[in-house]
Amino acid sequence: MNNDQRLMARALEWARRGTGFTHPNPMVGCVIARGGKIVGEGYHHAYGRDHAEVDALKKAGTRARGATLYVNLEPCAHWGRTPPCMIAVVGAGIRRVVAAMQDPHPNVAGRGFAFFKQHGVKVTREVLEKEARELNRAFMTRVKEHRPYVILKAAISLDGKVATARGESRWITCPQARREGHLLRARVDAIATGVGTVLEDNPALTAHGAGRNPKRIIFDSALRIPLNARVLDKAAPTWILTTARASGSKRRALERKGIPVYLVAKGAKGQVSLTEAARVLAREGVTHMLVEAGGVLNAAFLEAGLVDEVLWFIAPKIIGGQNAKTAVEGNGIAELAKAWSIQGLRVETVGPDLMIRGKVER
């Protein structure tokens, strides 16, 4: 690993500190070095706060003049909640910028690099680009595909059941596995489920003290959600996506409680169109979404091609029962050749359970 790679790896480490707090912005870290010595470091702490470059430049002060700036994403070139970072970088007297990747956002997309060259700042690109893209895969999905990056999570028995035939599901997995699930909730900016889960389990959908609580997204085509459901409390913002089937009076009652209700087109079966819903959520800034739902909605997300990763917790228990629900229901596939293939599997033990995570092959 050469010096540029070493310092970029450090910038990526700083960027990871923003996990769960920067949405809808990307995670960005910055290292400023002069003569082989680090003179300033920083990262984007949260949406609306200083970007990584400004954070690092403030720490470097006058030592930034003539130095090299390492950043895992092209510095921004547009005015938003904060001024463009490219202006701050040039104003500080940075001599060279090393960036892992170009920003895919159309408001940037190479403009920062062009600005640096116009002002005599040398630019080196694509240093640890693969690692940088992986870190901000959710941001890139929202910007390029206009939908959130989706992780589908399920907790199942060894024989694939999510509950007994009588509907008992608490708890299939161990406390350690549930804690891992809560930690993941704190790292995403939204958690989604269907109204069926709300009616059956009345979940809180919070991080249960593991960190910040994500937004709660409820798919409810006819607004069947009870006004006293736990997901409508003040623990975290809740958004509801519905269709024209919904009662106008119920919608107004929810909005009086401060719950935004989004009217979305109907799918083929009269439910919320997930493809349209994904566009609406991305437009509203939802970047990284965890789906914890029943088998029908899980299947619908897979069938719509909206799942990027799966996270399965498997308990060493056998439940049995042909009427016991499974994690993915619907009609299923007709041919094995059309099964969803999961790549890059990571398998860990969590207490007595297994945690399996992988990406859905596209």
Give yes or no: 303 in active site. no
85 lies in the same domain as 187: no
The per-residue DSSP string of 78-143 comes to S-SSS--HHHHHHHTT--EEEESS---STTTTTHHHHHHHHTT-EEE--TTHHHHHHHTHHHHHHH
Domain termination site, one of 136, 165, 187: 136
- Asked if residue 158 belongs to a domain, the reply is yes
The count of structural domains within the chain is 2
The structure tokens listed for 12 are 């990526």
125 lies in the same domain as 163: no
* Coil/strand/helix, residue 355: strand
The per-residue DSSP string of 27-53 comes to P-EEEEEETTEEEEEEE--STTS--HH
94 lies in the same domain as 150: no
> For residue 62, how many other CB atoms are within 10 A of its CB?
8
Domain that holds residue 301: 146-361
**In this structure, what CATH number is given to the domain that contains residue 315?**
3.40.430.10
CB contact at 8 A, 244 and 217: no
- Asked if residue 141 belongs to a domain, the reply is no
Instruction: Give kind and range of the element (H or E) at residue 10.
Output: helix 3-16
Beta strands at 353-360 and 309-315: parallel, antiparallel or unpaired: antiparallel
122 lies in the same domain as 190: no
Provide the β-strand partners of residue 219: 194, 241
**In this structure, what CATH number is given to the domain that contains residue 21?**
3.40.140.10
96 lies in the same domain as 66: yes
Q: Which of 41, 53, 292, 309 is catalytic?
A: 53
pLDDT in tens, the chain (362 residues): 899 999 999 999 999 999 999 999 999 999 999 988 999 999 999 998 999 999 999 999 999 999 999 999 999 877 666 678 889 999 999 999 999 999 998 878 888 899 999 999 999 999 999 999 999 999 999 999 999 999 999 999 999 999 999 988 889 999 999 999 999 999 999 999 999 999 999 999 999 988 899 999 999 999 999 999 999 999 999 999 999 999 999 999 999 999 999 999 998 888 999 999 999 999 999 999 999 999 999 999 999 999 999 999 999 999 999 999 999 998 898 899 999 999 999 999 999 999 999 999 98
